[in-house]
Structure 1
Amino acid sequence: MNAVPEHFRLDLRDHVATILFDRPDRLNAFTRSMARDLVALFDRIDVDDDIRVVIITGAGRAFCAGADLSAAGSSLSTRQPDAGEVDWSGPENRDFGGLISLRIYDCLKPVIVAFNGSAAGMGVTMALAADFRLAAQDAKFALPFTRRGIVPESASSWFLPRIVGLPTALEWMLTGATFPASEALAKGLVRSLHPVDELIPAARALAATISANAAPVSVALTRQMLWQSMGMLHPMEAHRIESRGIHARARAGDMAEGVDSFLAKRMPDFPDRVSRDMPDFFPWSQPVHFCDPA
């Protein structure tokens, strides 16, 4: 891969890309430029067939304190133009946490977030599009938007109720109160809790289970099938996509290898690659274009 942008570190091992937020002096608070850089990293990861799983974590004692509210770091601290002056056609005036969430949503590789410490605001919400979230036992979480006089971002008003249910999403969002990792686990925000020194090994073990055993093209398709089904109005929509997927995969080299390796009781070596072997019906959804909300 090319040079890694400032405030990030990237470790590539055993088909796993680990992205480390590396701004510990600011509790890994995000700026718009960092958001653009993270989106670009995911663009690079999607086309690298050696990468099969992504882990995201933070340096220091926090995962991410949210958007950087300093004068240099956040558009929230500068004069906002009147709605009629805003050009909504490009990304510059959009919530930059949402740019991250939507890019993770579109990712063709599974994404694991390892909350090494506390997370607030977009430090929580940009992680909602990940497939798995693990946390250190002493991590704390907060969604303090109403306490800052703003509203949810990172498309969290769509993601959060689908993950934890509407009543919990309302309580966390409307109160803005801090809650412990134990509550995050009980409500389904995170998959598991770990001593902080065991967190990354646990994330890597989960990643290895996927990267060593599952066909990358099947993983990419399955990930998108499950996420996109959240917006389907009838199971027939899922049935149509599954039927096309089964037909395409049954003719691919991966299926023969999957069956042969199972019968021979050996580890699979799947030949198909995400960069070249996605079926011709993918993507099956029409792109959603950003438009003026007014």
Structure 2
Amino acid sequence: MTSYKQKHAGGNQMPFETIKYEVADQILTITLNRPDKLNAFNPTMQHELIEAFDKADADDNVRAIIVTGEGRAFCAGADLSSGADTFDRDARRGPVRRNADGSADYSDPQVRDGGGQVTLRIFKCLKPVIAAVNGPAVGIGVTMQLAMDIRIASEAARFGFVFSQRGIVPEAASSWFLPRIVGISQALEWCYTGRVFPAQEALEGKLVSRVVPADQLLDTARTLAKEIAAKTAPVSVALIRQMMWRMMGADDPMEAHKIDSRGIYERGRSDDVKEGVSSFLEKRPAQFKNKVSADMPPYFPWWDEREYK
């Protein structure tokens, strides 16, 4: 376990119990840090991951995020130390609110899936997110990755949407994310069978973009993150991330055209665009000044946030 002193060294780390939060070269590395439990997901990790993404979005020095696991696993899924009651909300959190007829009031926040709260937060993130999958990633260990932009796997990685084998259903909003990433047929095959499969099958099924030797995993992820951090405009990247993800649910390309047009208009008048064009013509690296914390365009956000109800 990293000491409090180590976590504060240089002012670029944050104290957490179940994750490490380390910023270097404008890249935040979030490491799931319960190696003795194969980084199993618990409520503390849920809240700390949400807090970490909150901090990352507020920090203009963070240009890209890498998520990986400590030790030999990425995340072995939910912490099953509560045994058969692991997924029983009433047993673990106390009875949820009831309707007059005695049925559960599903609008009670106590009903909400913790993994889904994490992926919804990642979905809203304004920085590129890269999963560096170093070992087994099962259940929430794989579904949390679906809201991340790019997944790179070690040859030692294993994946499993094991919910059907545990008598439950997929969580973390994965029924929205997974078919969009890999297609409906592949998504159903993996979720129907619940089998654990190797990195090569994940690559062939489009779940990951590449598979690399274990000792090259973090270097590969960092090289990609550094390319983003060094060469791109932060506000443009933040807008691109939300444009791509949110247009996956649009019902007509006109919706994309509307947002593209607003973006071209607003960014076309910005100091960043002047710098981008000038640096290209002058054959020098661009120095983009606009900040995500202060310079997002007035049309952002262009969507209405959904409520849990």
* TM-score, normalising length: structure 2: 0.90
CA gap of 1:264–1:74, structure 2 versus 1, over 3 A, is farther
Which one of 84, 94, 98 corresponds to residue 98 of structure 2?
84
SS across alignment from 2:207:
coil
Structure 2 match to 1:144: 162
How far apart are the structure 2 equivalents of 1:141 and 1:123?
Answer: 8
Q: CA deviation at 1:75?
A: 4.8
Q: Show the 5 A alignment for 1:201-240.
A: 201-240=219-258
Letter in 2 for 1:172: W
Q: Conserved in 2, the CA contact under 8 Å of 1:57 and 1:115? A: yes
Structure 2 match to 1:129: 147
Alignment partner of 1:185 is 2:203: yes
Q: CA deviation digits over 1:3-50, x for unaligned, max 9?
A: 321011122111100001110000000111210111011001101000
Q: CA deviation at 1:281?
A: 0.6
Structure 2 match to 1:49: 60
CA gap of 1:73–1:119, structure 2 versus 1, over 3 A, is farther
How far apart are the structure 1 equivalents of 2:54 and 2:89?
Answer: 29
Alignment partner of 1:60 is 2:60: no
How far apart are the structure 2 equivalents of 1:168 and 1:62?
Answer: 24
How far apart are the structure 2 equivalents of 1:13 and 1:266?
Answer: 24
How far apart are the structure 1 equivalents of 2:244 and 2:197?
Answer: 28
Gaps of 5+ in 2: 1-11
Which one of 199, 205, 211 corresponds to residue 217 of structure 2?
199
Moved over 6 A (4+): none
Structure 1 match to 2:47: 36
Q: Which moved more, 1:230-239 or 1:69-78?
A: 69-78
Percentage of matched positions with identical amino acids: 52
Q: Conserved in 2, the CA contact under 8 Å of 1:22 and 1:28? A: yes
Letter in 2 for 1:147: Q
* TM-score, normalising length: structure 1: 0.95
Which one of 26, 30, 52 corresponds to residue 15 of structure 1?
26
Gaps of 5+ in 1: none
How far apart are the structure 1 equivalents of 2:223 and 2:109?
Answer: 36
